[in-house]
A and B are shown apart, each in its own frame.
Chain A
Amino acid sequence: MEFAVDGLRTFAATGGRPFDPARPAILFVHGAANDHSVWHLPARHFAHHGYSVAAVDLPGHGRSEGEPPATVAEMAAWLGRAREALGLERAVLAGHSMGSLIVLCAAADDPGATKKLILLGPAAAMPVHDDLLDAARRNDHKAIDLITYWGLSAASQIGGHRSPGLWMNGGGQRLLERADDGVLAAGLAACAAFADGEALARAIEAETLLILGERDMMTPMKGGIALARAIPDARHVVLAGCGHTMLAERPNETLDAMRDFLLPAAL
């Protein structure tokens, strides 16, 4: 569906069901240079299990107009305006990678608007290797190769996709290749500059779930556990053998962790 944020056309996938702001809502937020499609399984699932779902494309990403915001704080502020544009006072916020920083920031800034919080592959700080940042700034495909290499566990680089016939390396690379020049660099720069995760974590009031990959090379599990300890009401789930790209590597386990967190009592 399309709606307007700051006067710009904004896209959100709704999981195959019409978006109804009167129902409990989940806002899904993707990572750097990704788009709504990374959420296709949970978006469809929760849309067919009582929620209204909006898997948004951040400005300048996917089908949304605009320029990518320069900082995580700006992205979080944009998410708040998107929530309002959708007619929602409160929503479950779920984010992956850079998206986890955005929803963490949004939940800390506006606790009353956050019903629950789900962080996939999060960290209190998300430093980016200089070589990766340099390659992204040059729009060099090497940046995409490095993200594939560091984003998937060693086992997942060989494959074994749970969705029959899909090849994780190829799918992830094509998605990143779809982003306009400069979008990946902007996202990575925003991640690299983000450093106040612990302070934000202590301000979180919402019940929070962290989903961590045991073999995550981009946001190591230990950092995720430390972040969980800083959030007053948090629990975490570790996906065995999984890297940073859990929505592709462990789609069903990721969905089950979210179901356990959301379905029993949230509706």
Chain B
Amino acid sequence: MVDAKLPKFDTLSLHAGQQPDPATGARAVPIYQTTSYVFPDTDYAASLFNLERAGHIYTRISNPTTAVFEERIAALEGGVGAVATASGQAALHLAVATLMDSGAHIVSSASIYGGSHNLFTHTLPRFGIATTYVDPRDPAAFEAAIRPETRLVFGETLGNPGLEVMDLPRIAEIAHGARIPVLIDNTFASPALFRPFDHGADLVLHSATKFLGGHGVAIGGVLVDGGTFDWQASGKFPTLTEPYAGYHGINFSEEFGPGAFVMRARAEGLRDFGASMSPANAFYLIQGVETLPVRMARHVENARRIVAFLDGNGAVSWVGWPELDSHPDRALARRLLPKGCGAVFSFEIGGGREAGRVFIERLRLFSHLANVGDAKSLVIHPASTTHQQMDAAALEAAGIGEGLVRLSVGLEDPDDLIEDLDQALRAAARAAAPRAAE
């Protein structure tokens, strides 16, 4: 039997989406730092504007450098296309705005990034879009929350910050039974560890700022279309199946088939909302993606070493890592994430808020900041930072305690990281029990 020798993941990480620059032969992806593109004649220009030709018009809508990044992520995720955005939040907003109108409803995992929670809870209701949160570990809760006006099921591959593993195949089956697509935020895993389209997702987004870039120098997001969802058969998405006056009555589903969503997201979403990625940021992010599989393997290796250290440390009351026997999603993680559960996880320090404060302030290698997925190791206290807008009930629902600390394990020598954690934990323990020590 002959084999289809198509390029594999590591090769695609380096090459997908790019042919050597036809003008100069440049091997690296050039930064096309331009706002606009010269049209050879008026008919050509009109054809571009009317989606009769392929090409670039204006960098808010597309750009050659950004297009390489988009195509590369689409290739790594196994989708049909992608749209790069100014940030991960812009990608989430673009997905929502492309799919639904006022009066629609979203069913979301309760354990999501605080910024996504803000959008769903405090901002989208102003535009008439409501969200119901459900336990990501409970597929039946997703099913029960779906209403006639539901237009999206949303979750994260690994919940934030508790690393709940969604049973994506089961939840996708439920959503598809209701003729609704599933959007997965795959930021924490990256396609190097998990490809949601292989497990039933229809759309994927990333904060590219995190592992895709890996260097912490550029903000960006990306929204990927799996091309799997049948919008026509669903009958619930007129933005994709009915004529759109904004493009001379174009019907995206009819004309673009599996690429209907991504074409509408670009043609309307970037044109009208304009949250596009800059070509310079696309260039930075491409540099990161080139080494994604190598970095993710090392991230996972280091995270496993550190989890083993923390899990046996008397100053730590709990470690939330899906590969531990104590984690409720261990079996699911083994099935869905055999390459590893990323490098972002949380643990609880005994001694409460004061011990947590001392621990974070005594760390030397771990940087205290609001980001994850950097090559450098990071630390944050979610209750006082990323998730501070959530009330006590929402915090409890998301599994966030006052002593919870979130680590993003980087690529440093793991012995150095463990030594840093060890000295900070000792300081935290002394702070938690000063009188006893005296």
Contact = CB atoms under 8 A, between A and B. Distances in A.
Interface of A: 13, 15-16, 35-37, 40-45, 48, 63, 129, 131-132, 142, 145-146, 148-150, 155, 157-167, 169-171, 174-175, 177-178, 251-252, 255
B220 to A, nearest CB: 14
Contacts of B54: 41, 161-164, 251-252
A171 B226 CA distance: 9
Given A13-B255, A165-B67, A171-B81, A41 B52 contact: yes
Contact of B56 (A42, A45, A161, A164): A164
B257 interface: yes
Interface residues of B, number: 55
A167 B191 CA distance: 16
Interface in B69-123: 70-72, 74-75, 78-84
B258 A175 contact: yes
Contact of B257 (A158, A167, A178): A178
A174 B258 contact: yes
Nearest to A171: B80
B51 A165 contact: no
B2 A167 contact: no
B262 interface: yes
A165 B53 contact: no
Interface string B46-68: 01001111111000011110110
B298 interface: no
Interface of B: 1-2, 4-7, 12, 15-19, 47, 50-56, 61-64, 66-67, 70-72, 74-75, 78-84, 226-228, 230, 232, 248-251, 254-259, 262, 266
Contacts of A160: 17-19, 71
30 contacts: A13-B255, A35-B257, A40-B255, A40-B257, A44-B255, A63-B232, A142-B1, A157-B6, A158-B16, A158-B17, A159-B18, A159-B75, A161-B81, A163-B54, A163-B81, A164-B67, A166-B262, A167-B17, A167-B71, A170-B80, A171-B227, A174-B80, A174-B228, A177-B228, A178-B230, A178-B257, A178-B258, A251-B54, A252-B53, A255-B52
A150 B52 CA distance: 27
Contact of B6 (A13, A63, A148, A174): A148
